[in-house]
Amino acid sequence: MTASELSPEWSRLFRTEGQDTSIAVRDGARMSLASAGGGQGGRAGSDTHKASGGPWTAAGGVAGELRTSTQSAITKLDSSHEGLESGTAGFASTAALKGIRSGWKSRLEAVRDHFDKLAPNLAQAGKEFDAHEVKTEGTFAPAGRKSGK
């Protein structure tokens, strides 16, 4: 296959403009992740693949906040419709508004319940991730060297 047979996007990825792709591959053309530096790769001592449970824990906190704000929205929706039926008795729009309100309330309750379940699961994932990360790091630590250094 020649470079002219590749789409322009693939040619740029493989850096093969005007080259035979077999030559480009043989000469070391390859794709890499945008976030991956040219560091030491997987060599011992390289710290290029750091990870933590922090993002999971933070996401759990955000999910908890979203649950709280969704509950506040439900409360406001309920309070804003208090007394509506007594003041608009007989209007056809009252029944329609009641149906719309009921639909929105159901949706908001489903969102609230979703975040209610999601928040502790994300927080637990962060804790477990950190625990596994420490354990895994310890298995790669050279003899005589404690993990975390």
3-state SS, one letter per residue, for 24-91: HHHCCCCCCCCCCCCCCCCCCCCCCCCCCCHHHHHHHHHHHHHHHHHHHHHHHHHHHCCCHHHHCCCC
**Per-residue pLDDT tens over the stretch 55-106:** 889 999 999 999 999 999 999 999 988 887 777 877 888 888 888 999 999 9
- pLDDT band, residue 4 (cuts 50/70/90): low
**Dihedral of the alpha carbons of 96, 97, 103, 108, in degrees to the nearest 10:** 170
Q: Is the pLDDT of residue 111 over 90?
A: yes
Let me know how many helices (H) and strands (E) the chain has, helices first.
5, 0
pLDDT band at 136 (very low <50, low <70, confident <90, very high): confident
The per-residue pLDDT for 50 is 66
Q: Residues for the chain: how many in total?
A: 149
Predicted model pTM = 0.55
pLDDT at residue 25 is higher than 60: no
Q: In this predicted structure, what is the pLDDT of residue 42?
A: 47
**Cα 82 to Cα 63: distance, rounded to the nearest angstrom:** 29
53, 124 contact by CB (below 8 A): no
- Region 4-13: mean pLDDT is 68
